A = this chain, B = another copy of it.
């Protein structure tokens, strides 16, 4: 009755809407990426992230940051991408333990191949029904949540310590 955690209708509404929207969006995007360039969403994220880096390369660990899952999962995806010639991996000169990941021209080509459809879908599903100020506000609010989550002790994407929880 006085459960402090009992969510208000407004809170539930926001939660459910977030879950359903992100889940539908992700599902549709995954399909598009698969069809257009035979990429999984994670692979696309990795390539896109590399593409956004000025130098076009990083260490594995930095690449994984925020893509949320285990080291072995990253290695697995990197292997697939390397086999397809979309990235290269080479030992880091600075730290001999590290691996530098680079986007290849072929990798950039796949991104180019996939991007138009990706953007079209993004508009069709997500952006079109919203006004510019809605979008700003949405980004603002979710941006704050993101900062909050990033600042929390990592429950999920724990670096390597003893998995709390």
Contact = CB atoms under 8 A, between A and B. Distances in A.
Copies per assembly = 2
A145 B126 contact: yes
Contacts of A144: 129-130, 134
B130 A7 contact: no
A119 interface: yes
A113 interface: no
A143 interface: yes
A135 B141 CA distance: 8
A162 interface: no
Given A10-B139, A21-B142, A145-B21, A15 B130 contact: no
Contacts of A68: 23-24, 27
Main secondary structure, interface of A, reads helix
Interface stretch (A78-86, A88-96, A97-105, A148-156): A148-156
B139 A138 contact: no
A2 to B, nearest CB: 14
A31 B122 contact: no
22 contacts: A6-B119, A10-B132, A11-B139, A13-B143, A14-B138, A15-B126, A17-B142, A18-B126, A18-B142, A20-B149, A22-B26, A24-B146, A27-B68, A27-B156, A31-B155, A125-B148, A128-B148, A129-B144, A129-B148, A130-B141, A134-B141, A138-B141
